[in-house]
Amino acid sequence: MIWLLRFILLFLLLYIFYLSIKSLFNSSRKLDSARKHKRFLFLDDEDIRKNFFVTYQGVVFVGEKYMGVKDDSFDVISILIWPDHTAALKGLSKDDFVYLTEKVLEKYPNAKIHWKSPVNEFLQTSRV
């Protein structure tokens, strides 16, 4: 009976250790940490159906990928990006969005980048 209790306790401790290690390497934790420390992080899954996340200067951007045919092969041809919280955009300039666009194009060179509102309107007014 005592051996069974020791075995259960050992199993419970190993399971708690596994959960703590798993939470340390969780991608949402990395994203939140990068947002808090205002670092750049490009978090993307290879699955085309899943959105990617980019943090830059404390703002989280979400990108939606669309697949199509490019040069006789299937590839990501269009990307729609929007900020997670528009209030966090305060202080960003056109150069920041150009930098983000370049970083996304490094990963998906055949894609055309589209920004959702209010970033799209900001980029159109700053071009004039």
Give pLDDT, residue 37.
92
Quote the pTM value.
0.77
Reported as a single tens digit per residue, the pLDDT across 106-127 is 999 989 999 998 888 888 886 5
The rounded mean pLDDT for the chain is 88
Question: 119-127 and 94-107 are packed helices; what angle lies between their axes, rounded to 10 degrees?
Answer: 110
Q: Is the pLDDT of residue 128 over 70?
A: no
**β-strand pairing of 112-115 with 52-56:** unpaired
Kindly state the average pLDDT of the residues 78-94. Answer: 90
> Please, which residues bridge with residue 76 across strands?
67
